[in-house]
């Protein structure tokens, strides 16, 4: 399709007015360069999302928006059940509750650098990664159901971490409303041996150092100081989430006509929130959120064990854990009144502002930590939710840099061994099961994360707090 004309509201905000069946506008939160860099499919897909029943307010495209399955990755859209709103499996994604968890180590770069290569080797041997990777944990049917209902709390009760961890996790480690019975036997079977594993693609476990501070008071409140070493874990619900997405998308596509829904794109298959199918998907999706939270909790404990062995002075304390592929029931002011909405964030991170009642006490004054991931050789960022971002973006922010080329294009341009050697020359130790996987995730395949974060800050979605650079990357 021809790229539609956008009305420029400010240097960092653009609007696509409703037309051709759209119920709401599309708002782009990005500067002109990032808008230009977006692939044309983003605009087509955002228009299609705006045509779905019961959509409220606007479709929001984050600065890192790029083409995805049905929904653009980096898109936010909310639906009102009272207005016939829907839940869209493609608006959550296949890797349900993929997210980032960041931990302090209590160590400085000078403490870690001499041991970085050894840490990389031991972490790589201890935390399984790659396509179809499995770990040492095997879940019985009862274990599986308890995990899907209990999330990170289940993992803590099994000895993976402490109750203090739960206070620093989105939903305090357990998503209410999960329904293990809505998860198929096939989805459960795929996850039975995959707990405590990173998976593949853009997932990683990184050691990072705080290179720059941009908001000193908030950094202090978050416990961040220049030169600190942090650990970040990026992964999701593995095979279980993918199977849930696959099955429910197929079922929603088949049932759309029965519900009177005309799909602008089959990839936007959805179901009314107030339908048996919609409620069943929400129960399964929430169970997958708990799976992802439990998975990151287990990987956290495996990482702690590695540090106890290599650098026993380290104390891995959780800063925060937040997902970026979810649908959450939240209250937002839209069209002048507070409404209960189902907010789809696909490749976008919740970014609650200071004072939000759902925040842990530690973040009430600062706003929620927003964890923005990089790609092996690029920076990652920690931001904080800002006052007023509810009206701007349904309290949402970017989640990463966003791809600027496909994985196939990346493998034509780079070789994995070449990328690993170049990063080693910069002091970044990469361990990965597949050279091809490294090539697919080459830093150059992504947009400039610093530009994305700058736009996020200027748009008032979240404010930059600290910039992190990688030391070690265990790549999925």
DSSP class of residue 109 equals H
**Is 399 labeled as catalytic in the residue annotation?**
yes
Cα separation, 372 vs 149, in Å, equals 28
* Helices 141-157 and 276-310, axial angle in degrees (round to 10): 50
Hey, what are 39's tokens? 């692939």
* Helices 276-310 and 116-126, axial angle in degrees (round to 10): 140
Quick one: which of 76, 70, 66, 28 has its CA closest to 396? 76
**What is the chain's Cα-based Rg?**
21
Cα separation, 138 vs 157, in Å, equals 16
Three-state DSSP class for residue 321: strand
- CA 84 to chain CA centroid, nearest Å: 27
Sign for the pseudo-dihedral over CA of 252, 254, 259, 260: positive
Cα separation, 269 vs 88, in Å, equals 6
88 vs 79, 370, 425, CA distance in Å?
Answer: 10, 24, 44
Cα torsion for 231, 453, 344, 183, to the nearest 10°? -20
Strand 73-79 with 86-88, pairing: unpaired
Hey, what are 408's tokens? 């196939």
**Which of 344, 356, 399, 429 is the catalytic position?**
399
14-22: long-range contacts, CB 8 A cutoff, minimum separation 24: 16/43, 16/46, 16/47, 18/50, 20/47, 20/51, 21/51, 21/264, 22/47, 22/50, 22/51
Hey, what are 466's tokens? 């600290």
Cα separation, 235 vs 255, in Å, equals 31
Query: Which residues are designated catalytic?
Result: 399
């Amino acid at each position: 399709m021809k790229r539609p004309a956008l009305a420029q509201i400010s240097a960092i905000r653009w609007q696509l007015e409703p037309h051709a069946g759209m119920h709401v506008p599309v708002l782009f939160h990005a500067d002109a360069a990032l808008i230009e860099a977006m692939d044309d499919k983003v605009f087509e897909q955002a228009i299609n999302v705006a045509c779905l029943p019961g959509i409220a307010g606007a479709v929001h495209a984050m600065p890192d928006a790029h083409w995805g399955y049905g929904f653009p990755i980096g898109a936010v859209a909310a639906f009102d059940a009272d207005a016939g709103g829907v839940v869209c499996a493609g608006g959550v994604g296949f890797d349900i509750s993929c997210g980032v968890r960041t931990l302090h180590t209590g160590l400085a770069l000078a403490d870690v650098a001499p041991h970085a290569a050894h840490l990389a080797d031991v972490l790589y041997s201890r935390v399984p990664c790659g396509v179809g990777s499995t770990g040492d944990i095997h879940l019985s049917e009862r274990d599986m159901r308890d995990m899907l209902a209990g999330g990170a709390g289940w993992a803590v009760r099994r000895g993976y971490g402490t109750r203090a961890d739960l206070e620093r996790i989105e939903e305090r480690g357990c998503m209410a409303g999960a329904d293990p019975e809505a998860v198929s036997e096939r989805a459960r079977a795929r996850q039975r041996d995959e707990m405590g594993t990173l998976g593949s693609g853009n997932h990683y476990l990184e050691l990072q150092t705080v290179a720059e501070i941009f908001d000193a008071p908030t950094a202090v409140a978050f416990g961040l100081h220049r030169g600190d070493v942090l650990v970040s874990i990026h992964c999701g619900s593995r095979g279980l989430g993918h199977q849930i997405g696959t099955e429910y998308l197929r079922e929603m596509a088949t049932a759309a006509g029965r519900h009177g829904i005309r799909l602008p794109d089959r990839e936007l298959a959805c179901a009314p929130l107030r339908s048996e199918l919609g409620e069943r998907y929400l129960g399964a999706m929430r169970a997958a959120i708990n799976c992802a939270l439990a998975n990151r909790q287990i990987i956290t404990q495996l990482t702690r064990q590695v540090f106890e062995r290599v650098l026993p002075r380290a104390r891995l304390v959780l800063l925060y854990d937040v997902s970026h592929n979810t649908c959450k029931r939240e209250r937002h002011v839209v069209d002048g009144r507070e409404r209960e909405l189902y907010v789809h964030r696909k490749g976008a991170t919740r970014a609650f502002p200071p004072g939000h009642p759902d925040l842990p006490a530690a973040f009430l004054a600062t706003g929620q930590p927003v964890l923005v991931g990089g790609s092996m050789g690029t920076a990652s960022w920690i931001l904080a939710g800002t006052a007023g971002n509810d009206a701007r973006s349904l309290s949402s922010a970017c989640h990463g840099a966003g791809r600027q080329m496909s994985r196939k294009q990346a493998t034509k341009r780079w070789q994995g061994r070449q990328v690993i050697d170049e990063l080693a020359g910069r002091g970044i130790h990469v361990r990965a099961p597949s050279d091809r996987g490294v090539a697919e995730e080459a830093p150059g395949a992504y947009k400039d994360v610093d530009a994305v974060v700058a736009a996020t800050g200027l748009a008032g979605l979240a404010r930059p707090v600290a910039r992190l650079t990688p030391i070690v990357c265990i790549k999925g």
